[in-house]
Chain A
Amino acid sequence: MTSESTTARVTLSHLDELWFQVTGTRCNLTCNHCFISCSPHNNSFGFLSRTEIQKSLEESRQLGVKGYYFTGGEPFLHPEMVEILEDTLKIGPATVLTNATVLKDEWLQRLQQAQSKSRYSLEFRVSIDGFDAETNDPIRGEGTFARAIRGVKKLVHTGFLPIITATRTWKDSEDSSMLSGFLSMLKQQGYSQPRIKLLPTLKLGAEQNRSGGYTDQQRVTGEMLQDYDRSQLVCEHSRIVTTRGVHVCPILIESPDALLSNDLATAAQKPYTLGHGACFTCYQYGAICSNISTGSGPSGASA
């Protein structure tokens, strides 16, 4: 039970990260661990238009936003994704979270040019959940490993250094061997200094069906936040724009209490009470939505 005195309320310190649910819940894949159950047929959130995004980008400048993130669904299903990233790179750094299965050489060449002209980085985060088809495809779908690797090779060939993000569908104790597997596979594919980020599973959406949801005890309390570095929490420095409005973080867009406002400035001022099991995961692992990668693994110098 969470009483009023132990409520875990988090105020945004500064809007460092602005996210866009650019293609809503539409994805060309149907991964069985997706925390918002994206699929080719899930239209519960729609596509944001380039004009809507331009408006938010403009508003964000007044708020001093530090970086822009694009997620979905699969962002590259958006017919104007390249233009949206080009718009963004004119004012700040952009990160796009993709499954890399639909990338076209022509788009990547344009984006490399846009990045060269900009003072800012364009980061690609590519989701791959196993270092071979046997481990990846049962989660992400038949043939997806080969398609994603083709995408990674295109990115590397165009000069990008994608961050490979893998959701930990294995035991924590297997991190080291999984990372070694990823590193050697990526090097074999011609990516000489791979960047990898491991993500915890979020037991929402499809993942809730796959591995079970959160228990009632898996909640963050006010006491737990004492002496805790709140900047590790996504809601302390981020907000996300969807077709429904501005939500507290990219993970909770389906929770009604996470929809804060229609405009950024108001949403930035609203504190949020950490009432969800997913908040517990965010608390436990910290910085789960940031771009920081690993080049080695938990064993340190052995890499």
Chain B
Amino acid sequence: MSVRLALFGGIYNNYLALEAALEAAKALGVDEYYCLGDIGAFGPFPNRSFPLLYENQVHCIQGNYDDSIGNQLDNCQCGYTDPRDNYFAQISYDYTLENTNADNQKFLQSLEKEHVLEIEEQRILLCHGSPRKTNEFLWESTTPLHFLDIFFHQREVDCIAGTHTGIKWHANTSLGQFVNVGVLGRPENDSTTNVWFTTLDISRDGIQHNFHPVVYDYDRLSREMQMEGLPDEFIETIQTGRWTTCLEVLPQKERQRLNH
């Protein structure tokens, strides 16, 4: 027997991509849906993602953005240090906070920071950044396998899934497997306009991951972002698949992909 999970990373208000991802996941015969946090940010109309999450019983983990919006904090706790990155992050945060209704804020506040699943004798830890810190960036090129093994050892799990960086990756270590599920919110700086989600097929024999590209109506998203007065820099990213903001946290290898 095998159980298939769909894992969605940061949605960043991109309800159009979420809709497309849910449809794709249904077609794949997914049994359960999870979102690893950061429902808001970046895109337009923050309240539009929530009905999709509620109707499809998507179990959500709290990301740094959700904690901030849910508790009405001053900033998104994204973990950027560059002034320009923080400037744009704040525009997006102020917009999202102002436009997320009270019920949805309460929902965000109620979310748990991690969730451990036990399926077919496999233990899977779902978190946002890392098991030790919600906004920790675990990039493929700066996360040694022996570092991940510390988490597998401490938490006694077979698989850890996270998001937060915006770029998917997977690694098998000597003690388990780590998967960054990617994000639905914006393309992953590879000059394509699609976004990504991940499925896990879990059986007693092991856990198999698969990354799935999501094609969605990014022109409509761009128009709506423009209508809402969101920065041109954000719209450019949606249109080109290249990051124009939040770049300074990128390590060299991830940056070299487009020679940023």
**Chain A residues packing against B (C-beta within 8 Å):** 14, 60-62, 64-67, 91-93, 115, 119-123, 159-161, 192-193, 195, 287, 291-301, 303
Contacts and interface: CB of A to CB of B under 8 A. Distances in A.
A91 B173 CA distance: 12
A119 B140 contact: yes
Interface string B217-256: 0000000000000000000000000000001110111111
Contacts of B85: 295
A294 B81 CA distance: 8
A64 B252 contact: no
Contact of B142 (A91, A121, A159, A298): A121
A303 B84 contact: yes
Given A121-B251, A123-B251, A193-B260, A92 B147 contact: yes
Interface of B: 81-88, 132, 140-144, 146-147, 149-150, 171, 247-249, 251-256, 259-260
Contacts of A123: 251-252
B144 A120 contact: yes
A121 B253 contact: yes
Nearest 9 CB-CB pairings of A with B: A300-B87, A64-B150, A296-B84, A92-B144, A121-B141, A121-B252, A61-B146, A121-B251, A121-B253
Nearest to B150: A64
11 contacts: A64-B146, A64-B150, A67-B144, A93-B251, A121-B253, A161-B256, A291-B251, A292-B248, A295-B82, A295-B248, A300-B87
B141 A120 contact: yes
B133 to A, nearest CB: 8
The binding surface of chain A is classed by DSSP as loop
B229 to A, nearest CB: 14
A93 B146 CA distance: 12
Nearest to A156: B259
Contacts of B150: 14, 64
Nearest to A192: B259
Contacts of A291: 251
B144 A292 contact: no
B201 to A, nearest CB: 24
A266 to B, nearest CB: 18
Contacts of A295: 82, 84-85, 247-248
Nearest to B171: A119
A62 B41 CA distance: 38
Contacts of B84: 294-297, 300-301, 303
A119 B145 CA distance: 10
B82 A66 contact: no
B244 to A, nearest CB: 10
Contacts of A122: 252
Contacts of B252: 115, 121-123, 160-161
Contacts of B253: 115, 120-121
Nearest to B253: A121
Given A121-B253, A299-B83, A301-B88, A195 B248 contact: yes
Contact of A65 (B83, B88, B147): B147
A162 to B, nearest CB: 9
A242 B146 CA distance: 23
Given A119-B141, A292-B249, A301-B87, 10 more contacts: A64-B144, A66-B142, A66-B143, A121-B253, A123-B251, A195-B248, A292-B248, A294-B82, A298-B83, A300-B84
Give the one of B140, B142, B249 with max A CB within 10 A. B142
A192 B255 CA distance: 13
A294 B149 contact: no
A231 to B, nearest CB: 8
Nearest to B139: A121
A195 B81 CA distance: 13
Contacts of B142: 66-67, 93, 120-121
Given A115-B253, A121-B252, A294 B147 contact: no
A66 B136 CA distance: 12
B248 A294 contact: yes
Contacts of A93: 141-142, 144, 251
